[in-house]
A and B are shown apart, each in its own frame.
Chain A
Amino acid sequence: MLRRYLVASVVAFAACGEGGASDGNDGARIDAPDDGVNRTQLLTHLGSDIFLPMYTDFEASAATLSTKVAAYCTALEGGAVGATHDEAKAAWRAAIDDWQAIDAVLLGPAAMDGKILRDRAYAWPLVSPCGLNRDTASRWADPSTYDVTTQPVNERSLAGLEFLLFTTETAHGCPIVPPGWDALGSNLPAARCQHAAALAADVATTAQTLATAWRPTGGDFAGQLGRAGQSGSMFPTEQAALNAISDGFFFADRMIKDMKLAQPAGIVDNACATVQEPCLREVEHLEADHGTFAIRINLAALKTVFMGGEELGFDDLLRAAGSNDLADRMIANLDAAIAAAAAIDDSFVSALSSDYTDVVAAHGALRAITDDLKTQFLTVLALEIPDDVATDND
């Protein structure tokens, strides 16, 4: 849950503040001795204690979201919405928070096959308001013709749900009027809710699929991680398993640093062609204005996986390899980035206009992390960059 990651990061950050960057977390953590790390233990711990709970949390929150959206639709039909809309929105926030922790270090079934399952759960930046409005109208006209499983990912997922639950826009946003749109009239909220219910059920199914794939009673991906290098594991070596996890760390580079911070802030090229000026079209969670929380959770989860929570993590691997300074620096940089994200206004949209320097500072803090990730972290642990197709090397 969100609280777990925030508490972990706050504890780590507080310890850092007391002890300084170089020895910040030693007091709070039960780490392996510097002279060795049992990689099997590390992988088992990460799989069973860190990753698996993330997926079961998401499974639960996605199921709750589906229930809450259905309740909202029922209330709409009865003409007494009451608090059901707010409850549905809150359930969406809970679900997306759980997903943001997973997305921060994507591993396993969600990261495979072109990330199909990832996109079904949360496809951002792929989201099509026009497509969602078109589906809303066609589904309202004839629900039997709509099958969510055949829809493109930019018309599904938590990103599509965000639009349907939060938008107040009544224009369709398409080049041509979608069939049935004009007939919706005052039924638009009900139609959007019905469509959201279908999407929420689809997300809940995906969440269940993912959690099952990780559970020992299902695909046992957590177990496969722990048994890396042994028969029955998809990882031929422990190094390959570590590499798969480290691939996920690079979400911090192209997604958090570049897409979530730099593009909206005009630090890098964006859809608005602005330079050092905001571009709202690039903001994640624009409808819910939840972007700051997403960044905070991403960073907290990144740190949790990197440090293995309070047990074995990649920092211990670095220490065992004799790179205490790198481990200390990376933890300090993670803490700095978490602190920088905490300083951004809760409303990312507001932050872009009134709190711009904090957004820029967070971007700079992220770069310190990704510079180490792309360089010494890879060389010391002999890891490869993500999406590397393992072509030859000489």
Chain B
Amino acid sequence: MGLAHFRTCYRPAVTEALRARASIAAGRPVDIASLAVFRMLFGLVMAGSALRVLTAGWIGPMYEEPRWFFSYPGFAWVKPWPAPGMYVHYGVLLVLALAVAAGWHYRVALGLFLVGFLYSQLVDVTNYLNHHYLVVLLAGLLIVLPAHAAWSLDARAGRVDRRETVPAWMVWLLRFQIGVVYVFAGLAKLKADWLLHGQPLNLWLAARTETPIVGGLFGDPRTALAMSWAGFLFDTTIALWLSWGRTRLVAFGALVGFHGATGYLFNIGLFPVIMTTGALIFFPPDWPRRLLRRAAVRVEGAAEPPGRAARIAIGIYVVLQIGLPLRHVVYPGALLWNEDGMRFAWHVLIREKHGSVTYVAKFANGKQLEIPPGRWLTWRQEREMSGQPDLILQLARAIDRDLAARGFRDYTLHAITQVSLNGRRPAPLIDPTVDLRTLGDVGARDWVLPAPTEDPPVVEY
């Protein structure tokens, strides 16, 4: 029997059988409990997040103090509310998040929360955080899932048909999303700085030698290297261990320890909380009932495989979620240096980067005018911009428009940059001879200079 014969006669049948089995498995009813708890925890964590922004004094520095904002392509029209509008905005987000947790007018509340949260992020690119992106994705997924069909005020009030089960694919989708974050956060660590030099962990730990009990170890670069490898292995494999029943409990314990430690040592806000609560979705769907010792529900019933439209939407979503983090592979240059493909890709805490940027307008008459970014940006914005070429270019365009509006003519605009990556000696990031006014949004970014080739330093106390 030849291969051609197999292809002709058997492969369609095999494929069809697999597809049918997958469809049945995906549609198999499972307890709704874990999905409902996921909704509650998501809402509570988001409420905590909004409360944090309101009480930590972040509204001013993020929305009121900047004189100018970096925008995402096509969203330059998104501006912050006039003061004290952003306080009201986050106050509303807090209420909406609590409504999501309680399952009160769930879809409306979550929809408004999603729009409001997106708005708060679109105001300024320098506000970008990986876990903010994750919040947007999870809210987007939850809004299409009937997470309010149990243990919610909507179900109690009869605004939604009460359900005891949901098809398994709904839980799988959330597991996929959480798993994607871990796996790509792990793959992002597949770099020489991380795995061979223990950077930037070595720099960060060396500054925390006063940590109780274990601080003495942090001055030893071998600790950083060991933790780098541990982090890499943890991130790349934890979804696997969480998916396997025999290792799940131990894996979750390790996860709690990992996120507890990173949350204690590093200033990463709610990321550990989001990931820890999110990872609960890997437990069997009835885990909340078991935990509460409530009677198990009958998970019998007709399978509800996703319909054609849902399958297509899920397929697109999955491809996007795998493709976006990998897009940097096809971009030339070193990712940590040129940041090409850095956002929306789960490159979480993998670099320590600081830069210094000065713009220079050179006039035809031989004179030149320097424009320090501090004239446009807060310190926080300047820090974020200084290592990101696309933001440096975006501010250059704003400066160009400003100079032109003030009557300056016949000049070229340049960026004088110095950037230190993972403790290396500063090196120029942008070609200072390039007139930034001539650059477009597409095409090779040859105006970004190559990354330094030297190894990062190793700090030892």
Contact = CB atoms under 8 A, between A and B. Distances in A.
A289 interface: no
Interface stretch (A3-11, A173-181, A380-388): A380-388
Contact of B369 (A275, A380, A389): A275
A390 interface: yes
B58 A269 contact: no
A393 B348 CA distance: 9
A321 B372 contact: no
Interface in A261-301: 262, 266-269, 273, 275-276
Given A268-B375, A392-B129, A374 B354 contact: yes
Contacts of B19: none
B283 interface: no
A390 to B, nearest CB: 6
B131 interface: yes
Size class of the contact patch on chain A: 35 or more
Given A385-B382, A391-B58, A394-B348, A380 B459 contact: yes
Contacts of A220: none
Most chain A beta-carbon neighbours within 10 Å: one of B423, B457, B460: B423
Contact of A237 (B58, B204, B210, B383): B210
A84 interface: no
Nearest to A320: B461
Given A229-B210, A276-B368, A390 B267 contact: yes
A84 B203 CA distance: 57
Contacts of B203: 379-380, 382
Interface in A208-246: 229, 237-239
A321 B206 contact: yes
A258 B424 contact: no
Contacts of B356: 370-371, 374-375
Interface stretch (B94-102, B240-248, B414-422, B436-444): B414-422
A276 B370 CA distance: 10
Contacts of A393: 129, 266-269, 349
Interface string B182-216: 00000000000000000010011011101000000
A332 to B, nearest CB: 14
Given A385-B383, A393-B349, A376 B425 contact: yes
B44 interface: no
Contact of B418 (A36, A238, A275, A375): A375
A254 interface: yes
Contact of A388 (B374, B375, B380, B461): B380
Nearest to B383: A385
A371 B418 contact: yes
Contacts of B355: 374-375
A372 interface: yes
Interface in B219-270: 266-270
A322 interface: yes
Contacts of A390: 267
Interface string A143-165: 00000000000000000000000
Interface string A13-41: 00000000000000000000000110100
Most chain B beta-carbon neighbours within 10 Å: one of A276, A389, A394: A394
Q: Which secondary structure dominates where chain A touches chain B?
A: loop
B332 interface: no
A386 B379 contact: yes
Most chain A beta-carbon neighbours within 10 Å: one of B60, B61, B270, B459: B459
Given A253-B374, A382-B352, A239 B380 contact: no
A347 interface: no
A382 B206 contact: yes
Interface string B347-381: 01100111110100001000111111011001110
B271 interface: yes
Contact of A394 (B204, B268, B422): B268
Contact of B353 (A367, A379, A389): A379
B269 A392 contact: yes
B177 interface: no
Contacts of B370: 262, 267-268
A374 B367 CA distance: 27
Interface of A: 36-37, 39, 229, 237-239, 250, 253-254, 258, 262, 266-269, 273, 275-276, 320-323, 325-326, 367, 370-372, 374-376, 378-383, 385-394
30 contacts: A229-B210, A254-B372, A267-B370, A268-B369, A275-B363, A321-B460, A323-B423, A370-B356, A371-B418, A375-B356, A376-B354, A376-B425, A376-B426, A378-B354, A379-B424, A382-B203, A382-B204, A382-B206, A383-B207, A387-B379, A387-B380, A388-B379, A388-B380, A392-B129, A392-B131, A392-B270, A393-B266, A393-B268, A394-B268, A394-B348
